[in-house]
Chain A
Amino acid sequence: MNLFLLTVVVIIYLAVVSYLGYQGYKNTKSSLDYNVAGRNIHPYIMAMSYGATFISTSAIVGFGGTAAQFGFSLLWLTACNIWIGIFVAFVFFGKRTRRMGLNLDAHTFPEFLGKRLGSVFVQRFMGIIIFLTMPLYIAAVLIGASRILEGLLRIDYNVAVVLFTILVAAYVIFGGLKGVMYTDALQGTLMFIGMVVLLIAVYFSLGGITPAHSALTNLASQIPEGLRKIGMTGWTQSPVPGSPLFWILYSSLVLGVGVGVLAQPQLIVRYMTVKSNQEINRAVIIGGVFIMAMTGTAFVVGALSNVYFVNSSGKIALAMVGGNVDAVIPKFIADFMPSWFGYLFMLVILSAAMSTLSSQFHALGTSIGRDVYGTTLKGKDKLKSWEILVTKLGIVIGLIITVYLAYHLGESVIARATSIFFGLMASCFLAPYAASLYWKRLTRKGAIAGMMAGFLVSLFSFLFLHISESKVFGLSKLLFGKDSLLSGSSVFIDPLVFALPVSVVTTILVSLLTKVEEPDHVERCFKGI
């Protein structure tokens, strides 16, 4: 490792990011009218900002490692990321959210739903749920970044967590919170270049696309016994239908994250910053290609790392890292690519982590400051300054919880932590959110009932059904003498599979049984749609 070169590269990178952030911020402030009237925010910047926020170290390191473990079946998640996370999200959710967000003068996701439904309770409830659960997702991103530092710099994981936290805290404090899209765009571009280079290099070194895949197929005999037992049949083969792996893969990872993306607070805000639907139309192109290059590469490379490791050391990827899935991608980059690429890739990871973290902390801080505390204020009175303080305090508390989680969550946890957060957001908020955009007959009571039903069913599942969590909480064992009330492989079915349909049905039924509270307000919400 060339420490001097590495330090220089990181310092130059941070300087450019800071400069861009500062410039973008100043520019927006001084040319407010110009920006609004001229509508010249480039769709490239919008799409890259969305993409860079969406894709984090969790996707690249955590899910890339999971692909090394489970194989190409995880590509269903990439397909969902593009078809649902970009196309459906932009075209069917983004356009209406943008227009309605304007009509309602909403600035956060909880504020959007709260104002649409005319309910402060909704805004506060969402604020609290986001504040309490988001640290789990932030920790997943932080763990991913720290594993990369650990792998590439060959430093201790605990030291890496501290190093990266200091870096992120500095970034968030010195301007990261301003949410400047130019910075995201630079980071997105770096991520794109890094991942494309990686994909080409891997396919090239393994003799091309088909030979590489065939070599992976031929490794089926080396599947560890543990994975074979839960239903794995090969890295290019589907798991046995109904097996534990089948449910883990499709219900938690593919469905949880693939669909959960539609209800992500830090992403929904992005639609509201776009100037017109035309920008959204154009951004669909960049978004689709960007996501393909990101998760597509991460999952393909993750799975193919098995071929590389078997060829070079005679062991599959999981065996190379002592079973810690989260360490596969860092180990692979360090071993497979030349050291200069390792440095470039570290910037990619820094970019991916920072662009996501800044938005996460923004969403976390505003959830408690604006959505919970802010709604207790009447007008712009003197207590307004307390809102800022509460927001900042929220961020500091969030940071502390995050670091604590990063130390205590253990190994092979990134993908799971991410999917819990994504799944929970979808279970609670997706049904009321979608209905808010498309259904004038939605009532406040219907939305609240749907939200509560999704939340309670998720909570029940985490405590009593889904064994990964119920075993940790121990309540099921205490009350019923077993880790899960379900049996067989159904203990692996993700809470989302139960909670989302219940939330959808409850939202619809209660709305139909109650009256729209303020029909005039609903018409105002739908103005221009």
Chain B
Amino acid sequence: MPADRSLGMDHPHYEYSSLPQRTELSWPTGDPLALGALVLLEHYEWEPPSDAYSLRNPSGGLFKLPAPDYLQLTHREYGHRVGIFRLLDTLERHEVPVTVAVDKLTAMHYPWLVDHLQSRSCELIGHGVAASQLITSKMTEEVEVEMIEESLSYLERVSGQRPRGWFSPEGVESSRTPTLLAAAGVHYVCDWPNDEQPYQMTTPSGELVSLPLFLEVDDEFALWRRRASLGSWEKMIVSAAHRMHADGQTSARHLMLTLRPWLTGQPFRIGALNRALSSIAKLQSVWTARGSEIVDAFKAVANSD
């Protein structure tokens, strides 16, 4: 099939936009940089449904072992039992409010944890059903709609609030996902790590904002997939924050750190996050915010045009 070499994106989800040509963005505090943290609570099932999709090589454990892979599964579970508290304590110490992506099976099997997150003023966002049940183009639209709704309504039931944000399990979408999320009433999605500012998506089914994460400093991408050293990860975070803080003087930026409790919550890693946040704190004029606060601030500027 010949490529359709037409102007702009090769998909309908958003329009091309070069950062320097955009309307200037500013945050409510006037700070050049917004800093947020998206903590992922991902549940991996011991026995996923036979028709479910998982990543070919999910992270954690040693390497892919025949089922049941105790190492991978229990390494992941460490996050829910132990690591999450180190992450929350560290982020709170630096006054970074926390956004948490909670999948349905986490909400179902760890109701204590959902209450705890709410008691610590975390914003909860939708995260699918489980990390072992990816949303992909291999499923029908009907199944995908059901899965999105199941995840959102379960989280709404246990937390009392319909999530405004969304991050797909393992960041995997079908080619329909943005449209279906907007139709389900989701306000913002974190699946597209392609920008340093939020931007409007062009979903026909409702208004949806993309709130990009910063993939290169995502703990799993850096520490597990790239096997960056801890020192190098810490430097990357600090250096990205410093540069965006400087560049944000002309048009504000946001930096969303993606953190996994089973990974950064390990005893030997938590110090690196703590040091990076201490370093960023020295920048002074940084606005720390939850996902929906960043998105609302972006919308206020976008709508005033």
Report whether chain A binds chain B. no
Q: List the interface of chain B (C-beta within 8 A of A).
A: none
Residues of A at the B interface (CB closer than 8 Å) are: none
